[in-house]
């Protein structure tokens, strides 16, 4: 059994024990009945018809290619009890493959559509298994690596068209979708409505009594016991406006928080799928200036002209008034602090310190230390304030 599996799937490395465990699990779980197991055993043995079909597979030039709309409706499984693909479906697949390869060869590399992820199913496996022998002739005729890449990409496009997967239009550069998420659009709509309501309430508070404004204000206070004829309606309007402003600020923070979380989630998902694309997006600057940068000599001359230009501005008349008033103020006499001044001050008095902790004054053991330090501190202050 392991030898047959190695011949059928040479690219998959699996041990004999793992293969036996999988077969035992399939047999015990009763996933397939006896008829299906017998049919799978027959399909596992390569038939002569399939070999002949693979040998005769060659590119046929056709003048008319089928449309994508017809390709989407192409049935793959003709019977629920038979997963084999009939001959007329193989011919349609061959024409689709040829069309996709021709389109890929004529399309620049940067304009190729991004291939979607295809779910792993029996139907998709059957399509890929049917297209594999058709690629032999194309790959043998390939001259270089670029042509081989275009052939494989065209085969992938053909698979997507056959199974009905959505692809961007060929010839249009694939760019990241900039659609606004639904949750963000809802919050932005709330913010826009709240701002419009704030404008109406502010206009009504300023004295605008137009019918439309009054109707909007009444709708804003609907369901409450507030009437527009109340004497404190101005205070109610101010409270309502402040409440709306706080809601707008909260909604804005929610958008920023959700956007940051969404950005981290997309980066983590992109790191798992395509690390190279993630690093390119991180290295690409957000704003790219068009054209060549300015000359270094021009930059130096520009800033040198700004720095060397004298100050030229007109001062207000109030500055002259303040300057004239300050000229009549007599300067204060210099104050000299001596050690005697420091010794006369008592550090244990709350009225003097104001900012000291009152509980500290109840520590009697610290009084002697404080009185001993005041002379040393006084001499230090006198030395610090002495003219030099």
> pLDDT tens digits for 199-221?
989 988 888 888 888 888 888 88
Question: Is the domain of 196 the same as that of 233?
Answer: yes
Nearest-angstrom CA–CA distance, 114 and 273: 13
Q: Which residue has the tokens 């390869």?
A: 101
The count of domains in the chain is 3
Q: Which residue has the tokens 């991004």?
A: 114
Does residue 330 form part of some domain? no
Domain span at 117 = 46-163
Dihedral of the CA atoms 345, 349, 352, 356 (nearest 10)?
A: 120
Does residue 308 form part of some domain? no
Q: Which residues pair with 82 in a beta bridge?
A: 79
Question: Is the domain of 144 the same as that of 225?
Answer: no
Does residue 38 form part of some domain? no
**Residue 249 has what pLDDT?**
94
Does residue 300 form part of some domain? no
Does residue 41 form part of some domain? no
**Rounded to 5 degrees, what angle do the CA atoms 103, 107, 108 make?**
160
Does residue 224 form part of some domain? yes
**Residue 338 in contact with residue 378, Cβ under 8 Å?**
yes
**Residue 375 has what pLDDT?**
52
Question: Is the domain of 275 the same as that of 193?
Answer: yes
Does residue 141 form part of some domain? yes
Question: Is the domain of 220 the same as that of 256?
Answer: yes
Instruction: Provide DSSP, 193-245.
Output: HHHHHHHHHHHHHTT---HHHHHHHHHHTTTSS--TTSTTHHHHHHHHHHHHH
Among residues 248, 282, 316, the one where a domain terminates is 282
**Does pTM surpass 0.75?**
no
**Residue 351 has what pLDDT?**
43
pLDDT tens readout for residues 337-385: 777 776 666 554 444 444 444 444 444 444 444 555 555 555 555 555 4
Question: Is the domain of 63 the same as that of 137?
Answer: yes
Residue ranges of the chain with per-residue pLDDT less than 50: 47-84, 171-175, 348-369, 385, 387-388
Among residues 131, 163, 195, the one where a domain terminates is 163
Question: Is the domain of 251 the same as that of 214?
Answer: yes
Among residues 235, 260, 282, the one where a domain terminates is 282
Question: Is the domain of 64 the same as that of 139?
Answer: yes
Question: Is the domain of 216 the same as that of 188?
Answer: yes
Does residue 144 form part of some domain? yes
Question: Is the domain of 192 the same as that of 233?
Answer: yes
Question: Is the domain of 54 the same as that of 149?
Answer: yes
Q: Which of 153, 118, 159 is nearest to 138 (CA)?
A: 153
Question: Is the domain of 345 the same as that of 375?
Answer: yes
Question: Is the domain of 200 the same as that of 140?
Answer: no
């Amino acid at each position: 059994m392991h030898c047959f599996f190695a011949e059928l799937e040479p690219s998959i490395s699996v041990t004999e024990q793992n293969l036996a465990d999988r077969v035992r699990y399939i047999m015990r779980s009763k996933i397939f009945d006896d008829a299906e197991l017998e049919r799978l055993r027959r399909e596992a043995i390569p038939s002569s018809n399939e070999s002949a079909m693979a040998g005769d597979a060659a590119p046929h030039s056709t003048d008319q290619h089928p449309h994508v709309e017809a390709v989407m409706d192409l049935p793959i499984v003709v019977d629920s009890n038979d997963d084999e693909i009939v001959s007329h479906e193989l011919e349609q697949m061959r024409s689709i493959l040829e069309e996709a390869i021709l389109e890929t060869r004529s399309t620049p590399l940067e304009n190729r559509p991004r291939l979607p992820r295809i779910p792993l199913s029996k139907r998709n496996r059957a399509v890929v298994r049917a297209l594999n022998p058709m690629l032999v002739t194309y790959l043998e005729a390939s001259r270089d690596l670029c042509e081989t890449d275009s052939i494989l990409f065209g085969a992938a496009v053909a698979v997507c068209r056959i199974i009905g997967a959505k692809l961007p239009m060929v010839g249009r550069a694939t760019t990241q979708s900039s659609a606004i998420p639904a949750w963000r659009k809802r919050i932005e709509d709330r913010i826009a409505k709240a701002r419009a309501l704030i404008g109406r309430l502010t206009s009504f508070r300023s004295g605008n009594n137009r019918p439309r404004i009054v109707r909007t204000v009444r709708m804003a206070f609907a369901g409450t016991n507030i009437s527009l004829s109340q004497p404190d309606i101005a205070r109610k309007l101010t409270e309502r406006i402040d409440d709306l402003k706080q809601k707008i600020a909260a909604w804005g923070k929610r958008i920023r928080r959700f956007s940051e979380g969404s950005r981290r989630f997309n980066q983590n998902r992109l790191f798992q799928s395509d690390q190279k694309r993630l690093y390119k997006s991180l290295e690409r600057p957000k704003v790219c200036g068009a054209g060549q940068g300015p000359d270094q000599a021009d930059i130096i001359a520009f800033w040198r002209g700004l720095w060397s230009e004298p100050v030229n501005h007109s001062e207000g008349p109030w500055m002259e008034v303040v300057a004239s008033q300050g000229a009549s103020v007599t300067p204060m006499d210099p104050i000299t602090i001596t050690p005697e001044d420091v010794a006369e001050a008592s550090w244990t008095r709350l009225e003097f310190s104001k900012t000291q902790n009152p509980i500290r004054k109840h520590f009697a053991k610290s009084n002697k230390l404080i009185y001993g330090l005041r002379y040393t501190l006084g001499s230090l202050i006198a030395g610090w304030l002495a003219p030099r």
